[in-house]
A = this chain, B = another copy of it.
Amino acid sequence: MERDPLRTVVFSDAVIAIAITLLVLEIRVPQDAQDLLHGLITLWPSYLAYVVTFMLIGQIWANHHVMFDQIRRVDRVVLFLNTVLLMDIAFLPFAASVLAQAFHEGHGQRTAVVFHGLTFELAAILFNVIWEYARRNHRLLATTIDSAGARAISWRFRLALVWIATGILLGLLVPALGLAVIAAFIPFYWLPIQGEIARVKRRRDSGGQA
């Protein structure tokens, strides 16, 4: 059962798009607000969980494409691991909801930050496992990628693994700090500097035009 990854990618995109859009359902209109403005302001933990989780799922989506752009065929193992990855991503609206509620109620933040972080860590682990499996089974990879390109992707996925793990560990000590570290992965990811490094690397590796 080896096949073209197109349908797997389309299905994955759909699940990721739905999960990211369902995040908003966890934000409930304040019911008893005499003062609506005050009610909306007290929902800040929901907005925080929404923004952090939305942007991180956005990165997952982008990275999923970075990976599958280089995979030419999916076998049963990749299909299974990808299904587990989607199961983890689709679980994120619940993790975001747990996070929002803990910060709203003012207790349980440690548990919530770790729970939320672990859901992302599992995604990072699965990215690494899928990619290393594909690298070792060269017939699954596109012929256009060289080993420098493959190493660059490995490096990127390992960094996410370590970064989020660090956030979880710090969250065990100081919950808000752990969340801040995980959230800091968003600006890091989008910073032009990282894009520049990648562009330079790619140009050097492929000897020319990106």
Q: Which residues of A contact B (CB under 8 A)?
A: 1-2, 7, 10-11, 13-25, 27, 29, 33-37, 40, 50-51, 54-55, 58, 61-62, 65, 75-77, 79-80, 83, 86-87, 90-91, 93-94, 97-98, 101-102, 107-108, 111-112, 115, 190, 192, 195, 198-199, 210
In terms of DSSP, what is the predominant structure of the interface of chain A?
helix
Inter-subunit contact A36/B83 (CB<8 Å): no
- Chain B residues with Cβ below 8 Å from A15 are 17, 20-21
Copies of this chain: 4
Expressed in whole angstroms, the minimum distance between the Cβ of A142 and any Cβ of chain B is 15
Expressed in whole angstroms, the minimum distance between the Cβ of A130 and any Cβ of chain B is 14
15 A-B pairs with C-beta separation under 8 A = A18-B18, A18-B22, A19-B21, A19-B24, A22-B22, A24-B90, A24-B93, A24-B94, A29-B94, A29-B98, A36-B98, A36-B112, A54-B86, A62-B79, A77-B192
- Chain B residues with Cβ below 8 Å from A19 are 21, 24
Expressed in whole angstroms, the minimum distance between the Cβ of A85 and any Cβ of chain B is 11
Inter-subunit contact A54/B2 (CB<8 Å): no
A79's nearest neighbour on chain B, judged by CB, is B62
Inter-subunit contact A55/B83 (CB<8 Å): yes
Expressed in whole angstroms, the minimum distance between the Cβ of A137 and any Cβ of chain B is 13
Inter-subunit contact B65/A199 (CB<8 Å): no
Inter-subunit contact B87/A1 (CB<8 Å): no
- Chain B residues with Cβ below 8 Å from A108 are 33, 35-37
With contact pairs A13-B7, A13-B10 given, residues A22 and B25 touching in the complex (Cβ less than 8 Å): yes
Q: Closest 3 interchain pairs by CB?
A: A36-B108, A14-B17, A18-B21
Inter-subunit contact B1/A76 (CB<8 Å): no
Expressed in whole angstroms, the minimum distance between the Cβ of A205 and any Cβ of chain B is 14
With A and B bound together, what is the CA distance between A18 and B13 in angstroms?
A: 11
With A and B bound together, what is the CA distance between A179 and B15 in angstroms?
A: 26
A13's nearest neighbour on chain B, judged by CB, is B11
